[in-house]
């Protein structure tokens, strides 16, 4: 009984952490959002708001996230 009483807050924190992780993953690997960010990045580069090095670095990061998102979608995650 006492163990259940003390473990309740811990289990609640674990569940909250899992829910937060799920939400972060969902936003991080949202295909539509990634595509929108790629378009915005390209526009910023075209308008010379960012240099080529920054563009390439950010584009690679977004393309990696896109690849992971497609894998997750394929695997039903």
Q: Report pLDDT digits (tens) over 13-46.
A: 888 888 998 888 888 889 999 999 999 999 999 9
Residue 29 placed within a domain: yes
Residue 17 placed within a domain: no
Q: How many domains does the chain have?
A: 1
Residue 1 placed within a domain: no
CA–CA dist 61, 13 (Å, integer):
31
Residue 2 placed within a domain: no
Give the single-character DSSP code of 49. Answer: S
Residue 12 placed within a domain: no
Is 37:54 a contact under the CB 8 Å cutoff? no
Q: Supply the pTM of this predicted model.
A: 0.70
Residue 19 placed within a domain: no
Residue 14 placed within a domain: no
Full residue range of the structural domain in which residue 62 is found: 24-77
Residue 46 placed within a domain: yes
Mean pLDDT (the chain, rounded): 88
């Amino acid at each position: 009984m006492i163990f259940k009483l003390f473990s309740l807050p811990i289990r609640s924190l674990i569940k909250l952490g899992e829910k937060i992780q799920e939400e972060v993953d969902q936003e991080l690997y949202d295909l539509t959002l990634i595509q929108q960010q790629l378009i915005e990045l390209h526009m910023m580069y075209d308008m010379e708001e960012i240099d080529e090095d920054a563009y390439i670095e950010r584009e690679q990061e977004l393309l990696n996230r896109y690849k992971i998102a497609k894998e997750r979608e394929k695997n039903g995650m």
